[in-house]
Amino acid sequence: MKKPLRSNAANNPTRRAHWLALGISDEDMQKPKIAVVNSSSELAICFSHLDGVARIVKDAIRAAGGLPFEIRTTAPSDFIFMSGGSGYMLGSRDLVVNDIEVPVQGAQLDGMICLTSCDKLPPAHLMAAGRLNIPTILVVCGYQPAGTYDGERVDIEDLWFGSVQHNFGKLDAATLQGMSDNAVRGPGVCSGMATANSMHVVCEALGMTLPGSAPVLAESPRMKAFARESGKRIVEMVLEDLQPRAIMTAGAFRNAVAAVLAVSGSINCIKHLQATAIETGVDIDIFKLFNDMGGRIPVLAAVKPNGDNTIEDFESAGGTRALLKQLSPLIETDVLTVTGKTLADNLAEVIVANDEVIRPLTRPFSTESPIIVLRGTLAEESAIVKLGIRDGRRKTRFTGPAIVFDDAPSALKAIGDGDVKPGAVLVVRGMGLKGGPAMAGSASRVVFALDAAGLSQQVAFVTDGQLSGLCNRGVTVAEVSPEAAVGGALGLVENGDEIAIDVDRKQIDLNVAAATLAARRARLGDVPMSKVSGYLSIYRRTVQPMPTGAVHVLPERDPGV
């Protein structure tokens, strides 16, 4: 053991009294005390199996000589929270981080094992690991099995897109009902390469999960085996004093960016990785890194919605471990992982089971970056466009007159009414970190609506809101920063203003004279924001700008604990 345990109860008689009353013996109190971070919830299928995973993990910790303490956090599910005000979707990420800090740091536990599932849990767990810097391992709790309807595979992502198609008369009610009846056949996260599975890939690429554990079918024997082995390993990590900041180094972050690019993952990974880097104390610009690495990291996997392969195909081909094996000449394999070994050691014996699904560097799906960070007079800090797998025919330039809306419902109505014409740049604002707040709204539904109306290749879409990891249709620019609500140029756009987007030049500009914009700014003054209360009002006051990954902390807070 490299250093004494943090949680020695023998030196604290009141703590000892509490734990004795819980049935914990003096002998057990001398063991490594491990937080089992569980977000089990009856609200969503994403988390419905986590109590069972927690039992497996706790048994493994005890068998390895540790003492587990199960703690609970909020359980954010985007599909459930969308109906209650989607500001809770991004806002919940940072709430989970605080949910972890309070009991783990307060009780001075020695290590933690996080049961990671739906979109906001993986980044929250990584952020908490970086903040607390105690031995931590993440257990990927798997993707949900998809169903079939009318002889075709159907999953929750197909259903979401179908619901918008139905609203535009492109899908009948009976088919939508049939899809809804069959889309989800068990627990776990959405089964495409959207945010959850993209972030599971990130967790392994960062070295914070056991190799080979992402992706994995929820409740499968493989998932349970990884849970047991992780429970054993976290006790060893505590005894070795293997801390997250020794694992999540600058090199590990570069590997994670490479992995996201190689699977054409969710753009949400950018802000989540930036937030994790800040919590970990790593001085790295993830936004810049995506552009710098985008030109040399090819797309090696094409899982839905990027291509025809399924997440099951990707797992069978070897998953993230096989992806990293293919990428190994381009990434930093000397970085440490939770195994206590380097990434090179972990990859030494790996064989790619299907190189049609996870291709070699010599035969990629695309050599053009699927994700590009734009800057310009409309986005002085950043904006993100995802083009997915590019075949040379995708439109990368778009110039047109703006048609502006201050909320998504108005934009959706305009699309439905035929008021959005080919050649326009559709602007929807007031959906950013503070304006939403927490990027509330239905920006993704606007993308799906443009597609349903046959306009996705004829109308560009620009927003300060957040998009689902599924959105890669047309020229779609999201997370424009600074956002409209804090005085960003997006808030000054008027109908008819010319907006020019040039993905190849990584540029997005508002072609309006600076003097005109200054006059508008003076006339408009402060931008009015929606009234919120409770946690969302706290979030609005304290959330930091997008270049921080939208960390929900005061700027003077020391990122180390």
Task: Check which CATH number belongs to the domain holding 458 and give it.
Answer: 3.50.30.80
Both 227 and 192 in a single domain?
yes
Q: Does any domain span residue 5? A: no
pTM: 0.96
Both 86 and 204 in a single domain?
yes
Q: Does any domain span residue 297? A: yes
Both 273 and 219 in a single domain?
yes
Q: Stretch 290-300: mean pLDDT, rounded? A: 97
Return the exposure string of 7-32: e unless at least 16 CB atoms fall within 10 Å of the residue's CB, then b: bebeeeeebbeebeeeebeeeebebb
How far apart, in whole angstroms, are the C-alpha atoms of residue 556 and residue 547? 16
Any idea which residue has 């996870």 for tokens? 358
Number of domains in the chain: 3
Beta bridge partners of 510: 499
Q: Does any domain span residue 355? A: no
Is the pLDDT at 67 greater than 90, yes or no? yes
560 band by pLDDT with thresholds 50, 70 and 90:
very low
Q: What are the tens digits of pLDDT across the range 225-274?
A: 999 999 999 999 999 999 999 999 999 999 999 999 999 999 999 999 99
Both 174 and 134 in a single domain?
no
Task: Check which CATH number belongs to the domain holding 241 and give it.
Answer: 3.40.50.2300
Q: Which of 273-287, 487-501, 526-540 has the lowest mean pLDDT?
A: 526-540
256: part of which helix (H) or strand (E)? helix 250-262
pLDDT of 9: 55
Both 161 and 244 in a single domain?
no
Both 280 and 235 in a single domain?
yes
Q: Does any domain span residue 437? A: yes
Is the pLDDT at 137 greater than 60, yes or no? yes
Both 198 and 54 in a single domain?
yes
Can you read off the two tokens belonging to residue 220? 């499968």
Both 77 and 106 in a single domain?
yes
How far apart, in whole angstroms, are the C-alpha atoms of residue 449 and residue 417? 12
Q: What are the tens digits of pLDDT across the range 95-130?
A: 999 999 999 999 999 999 999 999 999 999 999 999
Q: Which of 314-318, 506-510, 538-542 has the lowest mean pLDDT?
A: 538-542
Q: Does any domain span residue 291? A: yes
Both 210 and 252 in a single domain?
yes
CA dihedral 272, 274, 280, 283 (to 10 degrees): 170
Both 123 and 272 in a single domain?
yes
Which of the 8 DSSP states describes residue 145? P
Q: Which residues are catalytic?
A: 468
**Domain end (from 164, 185, 206):** 185
Both 35 and 106 in a single domain?
yes
The identity of residue 319, as a single letter, is: G
Q: Does any domain span residue 543? A: no
Q: Are 125 and 114 in contact (CB under 8 A)?
A: yes
pLDDT of 555: 39
Q: Does any domain span residue 239? A: yes
Which residue range forms the structural domain that includes residue 198? 31-145+186-347
Q: Does any domain span residue 352? A: no
Both 322 and 441 in a single domain?
no
How far apart, in whole angstroms, are the C-alpha atoms of residue 389 and residue 148? 26
